[in-house]
């Protein structure tokens, strides 16, 4: 079975779609080597039709817009943990200086929309019928917080199998289990939902991709103000202090962990110019992060 990586390459003359049948597992490493090495590999990929951008087969994808100096990443499965994704953008900042770096929260369909390629029909997200409380509240996969009109703040740490509960609309309030009133998390969830029932507002952040565009989410919450915070968990954390405490992000430790995920075993007998470039960029990012740690030390 193939593991497709799809590359959408854009310049002032237009765009082309290329792919590697076995490239998905190596996309994060390839990008971390920088534009010269990455584009050489991408341009050597198999030429595809526009339908291939969002055909459901891609396991990892990227749009590289040379005219706007934009990288737009989709389906990066190894980077759904908050510390790794923030560390990865620190690494890409060294590898692609001067480029804008973005996650495609709409998946490959967002890449297709950007170049006018066909988007596959989106099936309706599967709606949960119950919200399981997290077995270990400190390691919740989903964090729902509810600010009531009387000022009370309710904290609902849930298992990650209720990832699509936000698509229930206001009815999700009826499914939430008993709440905590104070909680310290030992890791970052994959999804956060903050509801202010008096103001009728919803804020959402995630480290993955949305089942449907944010506009479709607003349709599920008629009369509510819906804000999509991308992966900015800080938006929820700020609104819920001091009742909800999330761990600080250590940029140096996160880059060390990222290096373990991306690079081969240092004891391995062989290397490659591409891997050497990645190791060099990791070292630069780590040095810069260590210098910043003399300040507040947080990953941004």
Residue-wise pLDDT for 109-123, tens only, equals 999 999 999 998 877
Judged by average pLDDT, the poorest of 12-16, 126-130, 213-217, 243-247 is: 126-130
- Band of pLDDT at residue 260, cut at 50, 70 and 90: very high
pLDDT at 297 over 60: no
| Nearest by Cα to 144 from 164, 124, 126, 129 | 164
State mean pLDDT over 80-106: 97
More confident residue, 295 or 128: 128
In contact, 4 and 27? CB cutoff 8 Å: no
| Nearest by Cα to 239 from 184, 187, 194, 176 | 194
- Band of pLDDT at residue 125, cut at 50, 70 and 90: confident
Q: Where are the chain's structural domains?
A: 1-121+257-300, 137-245
In contact, 86 and 299? CB cutoff 8 Å: yes
For residue range 181-220, what is the model confidence (pLDDT) as tens digits?
A: 999 999 999 999 999 999 999 999 999 998 777 788 899 9
pLDDT at 270 over 80: no
**Cβ count within 10 A of residue 209:** 17
| Nearest by Cα to 85 from 232, 186, 212 | 232
**Cβ count within 10 A of residue 286:** 22
């Amino acid at each position: 079975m193939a593991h497709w990586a799809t590359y959408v390459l854009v310049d002032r003359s237009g765009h082309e779609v290329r792919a590697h049948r076995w490239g998905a597992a190596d996309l994060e490493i390839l990008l971390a080597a920088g534009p010269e090495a990455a584009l050489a590999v991408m341009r050597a990929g198999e030429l595809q039709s526009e339908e291939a951008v969002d055909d459901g087969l891609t396991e990892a994808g990227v749009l590289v817009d040379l005219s706007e100096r934009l990288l737009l990443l989709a389906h990066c499965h190894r980077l759904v943990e908050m510390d790794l994704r923030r560390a990865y953008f620190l690494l890409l900042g060294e590898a692609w200086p001067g480029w804008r770096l973005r996650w495609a929260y709409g998946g490959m369909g967002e890449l297709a929309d950007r170049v006018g390629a066909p988007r596959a029909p989106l099936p309706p997200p599967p709606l949960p019928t119950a919200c399981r409380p997290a077995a270990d509240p400190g390691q919740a996969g989903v964090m729902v917080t509810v600010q009531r009109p009387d000022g009370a703040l309710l904290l609902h740490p849930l298992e990650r199998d209720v990832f699509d509960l936000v698509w229930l609309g206001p009815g999700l309030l009826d499914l939430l289990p008993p709440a905590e009133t104070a909680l310290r998390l030992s890791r970052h969830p994959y999804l956060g939902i903050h509801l202010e029932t008096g103001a009728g507002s919803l804020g959402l952040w995630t480290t993955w991709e949305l089942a449907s565009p944010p506009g479709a989410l607003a349709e599920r919450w008629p009369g509510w103000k819906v804000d999509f915070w991308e992966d900015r968990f800080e938006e929820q954390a700020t609104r819920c202090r001091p009742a909800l405490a999330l761990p600080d992000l250590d940029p140096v430790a996160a880059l060390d962990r990222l290096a373990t995920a991306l690079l081969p075993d240092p004891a391995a007998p062989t290397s490659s110019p591409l891997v050497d470039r990645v190791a060099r960029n990791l070292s630069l990012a780590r040095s810069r992060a260590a210098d910043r740690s003399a300040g507040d030390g947080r990953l941004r």
